[in-house]
Amino acid sequence: MLVAVAFVACLGLAWWQWTRFESTDGTGQNLGYALQWPAFAAFVVYAYRRFVVLESDPEEVAKLDPATRGATEIRPDVLPPRPAPRSAADDVLDDGASPEDRAHAEYNRYLSDLARRDAR
């Protein structure tokens, strides 16, 4: 009964928005709502039917259980490759490097040393 009331209400609201759109002060927003309300009405019917099927068919409920489906493995070509770990030797700069670059490289060496100590 509630589904029928919701369905009729959504269609009534669609009709009301359509008449508002056709009036002299109607806007595109009214047209959008007039097209949106029938979609809501269709969803009410779909959701009701889906719930009825789930209540009456235990196999459908079992299909939704994540434990029965198992884990889904991600193909290796989907994700980008991981960057190779950097070492302190990668931060060696030439003699023409700016003082900011040298300080940055020294700080990175310090952080990598701390990470190695924490890993122990």
Residue-wise pLDDT tens digits, 54-88: 888 888 777 777 776 667 788 888 888 877 776 65
Same domain, 48 and 100: no
How far from chain centre, in Å, is Cα 33? 25
Contact between 27 and 21 under an 8 Å Cβ cutoff? The reply is yes
The mean pLDDT value for 31-60 works out to: 91
Same domain, 41 and 92: no
Q: Which has more confidence, 65 or 111?
A: 111
Q: For residue 95, what are the domain limits?
A: 88-119
Is residue 20's pLDDT more than 60?
yes
Same domain, 48 and 14: yes
Residue 76 lies in a domain: no
Same domain, 18 and 63: yes
Among the listed residues 41, 40, 48, 50, the one whose alpha carbon sits nearest the alpha carbon of residue 1 = 48
The band of 13, judged by pLDDT with boundaries at 50, 70 and 90, is very high
The mean pLDDT value for 105-114 works out to: 86
Q: What's the pTM?
A: 0.50
Amino acid at residue number 40: F
Same domain, 21 and 57: yes
Q: How many domains, the chain?
A: 2
Same domain, 11 and 41: yes
- Residue 9: the pLDDT is 96
- Residue 76: the pLDDT is 81
- Residue 106: the pLDDT is 85
- Residue 35: the pLDDT is 94
